[in-house]
Amino acid sequence: MLCFCFQTWLDSRLNWTDNILYNNDIQAIYSTESTVFTPPIVVENSVSDLGLIRDLTLPIEILKTGDITWTPGDVYDTSCDIDTTYYPFDVQTCVITLTTRGYSNNQLSLKLGGNPIVQSAYQENGEWTLVTTSSSTSIAHHDLVPYSQINFSFTFKRRIAFHLMNTIIPMVLLVSMTCYVFKIPVDAGEKLGYCLTVLLAFAVYLTLVSDNIPTTSTHICYLSVYLNVMLAFGVTSVLLTIHILDIHFKPEDKKIPGYFRAFMKFSSRVCCWHEAKCCNKGHTEVSVIAVTEKENEVNRKNSDIENTEESFTWQEIAKKMDEFLFFMYASIFIVFTVIFVIIMMIGSSM
C-alpha cells in the first residue's frame, strides 16, 4: 500500500520567535532529517522492511514557532490475517501498525491528528472495495518497556462480479449435469461416457478454481467444502452408473434377491413409478362391496402383487435405479446449493 505519513511535532530548540532579528523576516526554513531530529518510527507489521520511516531527500518544514512538518511516503507491504471462510464473498480487515523505537512511551508519545486517515488520493481497486477505515492508539510492550503505537485499520470487501460469473455460476451448471446421467437410457450406449466426461470437465475446472482460492489452513473455505462434496457426487455417479450397467446386463435366468424387491417397492413409493399409492393421493373412490366380494378382491390383489414381484426383470430394476438416483441426486444437489447460497449471503452481509 502506498502511504504518505504526515507527521508534525514541536521542537522548542528551533523556536526563534523571541529573536527580534529573524522573527519577522524568516517565517520558516527547510532542512532534511540529516540535520533535524525526526521521531524513530517503524511499521511494526511490515514484511519487506523493518527499518525506520525515513527519506533523506525530502525537505522538512520548520516554522519559527518550532513546529515541524514532515510527510515521508513509501510503499508498505504489511502482513494481514486472511479469513477465507466466505470466499469469494469475504470481507477482510488489514491493519498498519506504527510504533516508536528507542524511546519509551514516557519519552515519545504518538498521537492522532484531527483527520487520521485522508482518502483523497485513494484509487479504487478492481478486486477490492474500501468499506470503512478506523484508527486508534495503544501501548505495546517490548522487553517490559512500553512503546507508543498507532493502528490504522482498513476494511475491504471483495468484488464478487468476476468470481460470480467465472467461478460460482459455471460450477453450479457443471455440477447439475451430473444428475442427468441417470436420465440416459442404458441402451443408448453413452451413459458411462457422458458420466466420465462430466467428471473430467469438473475436475479440470476445479483445478482452475483452486488456484484462485487463497492458500491457508487457518480457516475452512465453504466454497472448497461445496466443491469437494460436488466432486464426491461426480465420483459416486460413475460408480453407480457402472453398477447399473452391471445390473442391466445380468442374465435373465439369474434369481433376483429379495432386497431388490424391497428396493422396487420403496422406490416406487418415492418416485411414483407404475402408479404407486403416492401418485393417487388426490383420488378418492367410494363404493359399497359385499364382505365376501371384498375378501375375494383383497386375495386377488395380494396374488397380483406376488406375481408382480416375481415378474421383475433386471432391466426394470436398472431403470428403476436410474429414476430413483436421479430423484435423489437432484434433491441433494438443490439442498446443498441452497444451503451454500444462504451461507454465502450471510457471510457477505456480515
- In whole angstroms, what is the distance from residue 281 CA to residue 278 CA? 6
Mean pLDDT of 27-50: 86
Average pLDDT, the chain: 81
CATH of 2-159, one of 3.90.470.20, 2.130.10.10, 1.20.140.10, 2.70.170.10: 2.70.170.10
pLDDT class of 309 with cuts at 50, 70, 90: very low
Residue 276 or 7, more confident: 7
- Angle of CA points 32, 33, 35, to nearest 5°: 80
Mean pLDDT of 71-95: 87
Residue 171: how many other CB atoms lie within 10 Å: 19
Residue 153 or 290, more confident: 153
- In whole angstroms, what is the distance from residue 133 CA to residue 145 CA? 29
Mean pLDDT of 215-234: 86
Instruction: Reduce the DSSP state of residue 4 to 3 states and report it.
Output: strand
Could you state, in order of their start, the residue ranges of all structural domains in the chain?
2-159, 162-276+306-349
148 phi and psi, to 5 degrees?
-70, 145
Task: Give, for 310, the enclosing helix (H) or strand (E).
Answer: helix 291-310
Between β-strands 73-75 and 128-142, what pairing exists: parallel, antiparallel or unpaired?
unpaired
Q: What percent of the chain has pLDDT over 70?
A: 86
pLDDT in tens, 162-218: 888 888 888 888 888 988 998 888 888 888 899 899 999 888 888 888 888 887 777
- In whole angstroms, what is the distance from residue 51 CA to residue 327 CA? 64
- Which range (206-210, 233-237, 263-267, 315-319) has the least confidence? 263-267
In the sheet with 145-158, reading across from the earlier edge strand, the strands are 41-43, 91-100, 145-158, 128-142
Would you say residue 272 has pLDDT above 70?
no
- Name the residue with cell 489452513: 217
pLDDT class of 302 with cuts at 50, 70, 90: low
Would you say residue 257 has pLDDT above 80?
no
Strand partners, 31: 60
- In whole angstroms, what is the distance from residue 150 CA to residue 44 CA? 10
What one-character DSSP code corresponds to residue 254? Answer: S
CB 136 within 8 A of CB 111: no
Mean pLDDT of 221-227: 88
Mean pLDDT of 7-34: 85
pLDDT at position 307, please? 47
pLDDT at position 278, please? 44
Strand partners, 3: 74
Number of residues assigned to the chain: 350
The grid coordinates listed for 283 are 383420488
CB-count exposure of residue 337 (10 Å: 0-12, 13-18, 19+): middle
- In whole angstroms, what is the distance from residue 100 CA to residue 110 CA? 8
Would you say residue 273 has pLDDT above 80?
no
Would you say residue 221 has pLDDT above 70?
yes
pLDDT at position 311, please? 64
pLDDT at position 62, please? 92
> Which residues, including other chains, have CB under 8 Å from residue 153's CB and lie 6 or more apart?
93, 94, 95, 133, 134, 135, 136
